[in-house]
Amino acid sequence: MKKTNVDLIVGGSILLAIFILIGGVIWLKEASVSARMVGYTVLFDNVGTLQVGDPVMVNGVKRGAVSGISLRGTDVAVNVSVDRTIRITDSTRVTVQNIGLMGERGIGIRLTTKGAQITPNTSMDTTFLSGKFDSGIAEAMGMLGTVLVEVETLAQNVTGIIDNTVGDTSFVTFFNTMVSRLDTISEVAQSLLVRNQPLLNSSVNNVSQLSADLKTFFDENRPRLDAILSNSERISSDALGVVSEVDSLVGSLQFIAAKIERGEGVIGQLVHDDDFYPDLKKTLASIDTLVNEIQQDALKLRVRLGFRQRNRD
């Protein structure tokens, strides 16, 4: 009888421990036995150290978990299970986030009231959402090696520069020489300024006076300058008219030259007549001969008339 009671106590204790263990696991996992989940598929270009079972946080509150990760072309397709009461739209922001100091990852969903609601995945249809990847501690640690190499190279370059400048005695001597020369140049420049201060002041005063005189001149002659400018505008307009008339005259001359070249009109016919020049030359020679003869005959006539007049006297 005592053995049976002991067995019952031991068995009951074991069953109680099992129930406590199951309840504790459920409580630690923050799982809700009564909650019903729906699935969505999100495409990322990179997911880092994201694993199946990592939490899905909706506005910072856990409402699901990662149920699957697979490659889809050049992207990574992540299946997430989310509480069906969560309204996912095409404007919802989904991000792979860093949630721990050791590089733990999770899916962060930022809800919004904008956009059209996305239908959860079914056995016949799958809607893909677009997600983003935020760099975390793991990526920073991966880049730390590259940064250390670049820092080491920079330190070597700085060391080389220091050795070739401050650490080199010849450079220090050259630098001191340049500094002494600059001091000498500064002293000479200061001495020149002090000695020529009156001349500089006089030059500045002259420039000021010249500016004042120019202003007075322009103020006094502003009407004349305005008249000159207006006359210049009128002359420019008249010149434009003359240019247009010259262009018209040139066009007319080009038209006449074209007609002459084609042999049209009296001048065109004369130009294209090969016998015109010889005939003209002969005519001019005949006219010249005729004029000479007329002059000789007129001289003879005047001589004869003069003799007769003397005889009558």
Q: What pLDDT sits at residue 137?
A: 66
Q: Is residue 129 in a domain?
A: yes
189, 190, 191, 200, 202 from 196: Cα distances, Å: 10, 10, 8, 6, 10
Containing domain of residue 155, as a range?
Answer: 137-164
Q: Does the structure show a pLDDT above 60 at 81? A: yes
- In terms of domains, do 50 and 126 share one? yes
- In terms of domains, do 148 and 80 share one? no
Tokens matching residue 253: 């001359």
Give me the phi and psi of 277, to 5 degrees please.
-65, -45
**Locus of tokens 């923050």:** 30
Other beta carbons within 10 Å of 97: 20
Higher pLDDT, 157 or 4: 157
Contacts of 156 (CB under 8 A, 6+ apart): none
- In terms of domains, do 73 and 147 share one? no
Contacts of 56 (CB under 8 A, 6+ apart): 62, 63, 64, 65, 66, 80, 81, 82, 106, 107, 109
User: Of 85, 112, 133, which closes a domain?
Assistant: 133
> What's the CATH code of the domain at 129?
2.40.30
Give me the phi and psi of 230, to 5 degrees please.
-65, -40
Q: Is residue 144 in a domain?
A: yes
Q: Where are the alpha helices (DSSP H) in the chain?
A: 2-28, 137-164, 169-195, 197-220, 222-262, 265-272, 276-312
Task: Read off the pLDDT of residues 92-134 as tens digits, 9 standing for 90 and up.
Answer: 999 998 887 777 889 999 998 888 888 888 877 788 889 998 8
| Cα 119 from Cα 30, distance rounded (Å) | 25
- In terms of domains, do 40 and 89 share one? yes
Q: What pLDDT sits at residue 80?
A: 92
Task: Read off the pLDDT of residues 143-198 as tens digits, 9 standing for 90 and up.
Answer: 777 788 888 888 888 888 887 777 777 877 888 888 888 888 988 888 888 888 88
Q: Is residue 201 in a domain?
A: no
| Cα 289 from Cα 282, distance rounded (Å) | 11
- In terms of domains, do 44 and 78 share one? yes
If DSSP states are collapsed to H, E and C, what string results for 89-111?
ECCCEEEEEECCCCCCEEEEEEC
Q: What pLDDT sits at residue 301?
A: 55
Nearest to 98 by CA among 149, 143, 137: 137
User: Of 115, 133, 151, which closes a domain?
Assistant: 133
Task: Read off the pLDDT of residues 25-52 as tens digits, 9 standing for 90 and up.
Answer: 666 555 444 458 899 999 999 888 888 9
Q: Does the structure show a pLDDT above 70 at 298? A: no
Q: Is residue 213 in a domain?
A: no
- In terms of domains, do 103 and 81 share one? yes
Helical packing angle, 222-262 and 265-272, nearest 10° = 60
| Cα 191 from Cα 88, distance rounded (Å) | 81
Q: What is the mean pLDDT of the chain?
A: 79
Max avg pLDDT among 7-21, 212-226, 275-289? 212-226
| Cα 192 from Cα 197, distance rounded (Å) | 8
- pLDDT classification of 76: cutoffs 50, 70, 90: very high
Q: Domains in the chain: how many in total?
A: 3
- In terms of domains, do 97 and 149 share one? no
Q: Is residue 245 in a domain?
A: no
Q: What pLDDT sits at residue 205?
A: 86
- In terms of domains, do 107 and 146 share one? no
Q: Is residue 152 in a domain?
A: yes
User: Of 164, 183, 209, which closes a domain?
Assistant: 164
